[in-house]
Amino acid sequence: MNRNSLSTTLLKPTVSDYLSCLQVVMVNTTLPANIGSAARAMHTMGLSRLTVVDPKHPIDETSVSHAAGGSDVLADAKITPTLEVAISDCQLVFAASSRSRHLPRPVVTPTQAAKIMLDFIDKQSAIDQKTATDSQANRDSNKPNIAILFGREDRGLTNEELAYADYHIQIDANPDYPVLNVASAVQVIASFIFAYAQTHVNTVDKDINIATNNDSHHDRKDINNLNTVVPPTLNLHTRQQWDEPAITQQQLQQLTGRTTELMVQRGLADADHLKSLPARLSRLGSRVQLDQKEYQLLSALIAKLLKG
């Protein structure tokens, strides 16, 4: 890829570029019709990646009839046996939750969630494009991967499932009954993401035009700086600088497991009474926001200590 084509890729993101990095994950659904309704809601808001975890009933004709124009989303849906499999290669995970749970993660509104998602995509994409090749397949495989979890119709997500998320999304609603049908929740959150993505892309384009008029010869550092578009709307710790890709959810859970193993070995934890230790370690990992090099360093250190 020549410099001009690389610059075009970096400087002209579209709404679809952002939305293609997001996947909706429905956990243990009861009604096949809700899967179809969620697919329709996704298609309306430009989302195309749907994963269904261990549904109680398979996708059927009622799913198709409720999907309407979203039949392609439904046809391409992935079915996985566990949530761990569904999000194993995700670097960032959000969970829709109508109430606080044990060991809660940071709670954000749909708009705040959209901003965190798109800023993360900008930063991760900038890293990947530094080493971009002519292979479209390679570029697609390195795209950021973000999951949004939605729970069961009757009781939402369990504490264990919520613990996989880096952030919890709560939709403003009637405090006396803040519960939405799962497909409706998908529709609401997706609509906020779509609206924010349009604004985000327009802001990026405006910054690009200004930068291009001021200096037509950008170096890569200048190009990457364009990814910071709007100051954070929420006072949360989010990593501002990345020089390596973020770790996946699978790697975070592996690190949590190995750290727990080390603490048990060194007498710092009781293997039969771990209580919330793994969940706290997982939350710590989410807060730290490790990259691949940091993950390798910690993994090597833990492996050495376990052998010692």
pLDDT of the residue at 135: 54
Contact 94, 255 (CB under 8 A): no
pLDDT of the residue at 3: 35
pLDDT of the residue at 197: 97
pLDDT of the residue at 102: 64
pLDDT of the residue at 177: 87
Q: What span, in angstroms and rounded, lies between the C-alpha atoms of 31 and 38?
A: 11
Q: Which amino acid is at 76?
A: D
- Return averaged pLDDT per consecutive 10 residues of the chain, 308 residues in all: 39 89 97 98 98 97 96 97 97 86 80 96 82 56 91 92 93 88 96 97 70 52 44 52 86 95 93 90 88 93 92
pLDDT of the residue at 226: 42
Q: What is the CATH number of domain 3-201?
A: 3.40.1280.10
* Beta pairing partners, 291: 246
Half-sphere exposure of 15 (CA within 13 A, CB side): 15
* Domain definitions of the chain by residue range: 3-201, 247-307
Dihedrals φ, ψ of 177, to 5°? Answer: -160, 80
What SS3 class is residue 142? Answer: coil
| Cα–Cα nearest to 74, from 92, 93, 55 | 55
Please state the pTM of the whole predicted model. Answer: 0.78
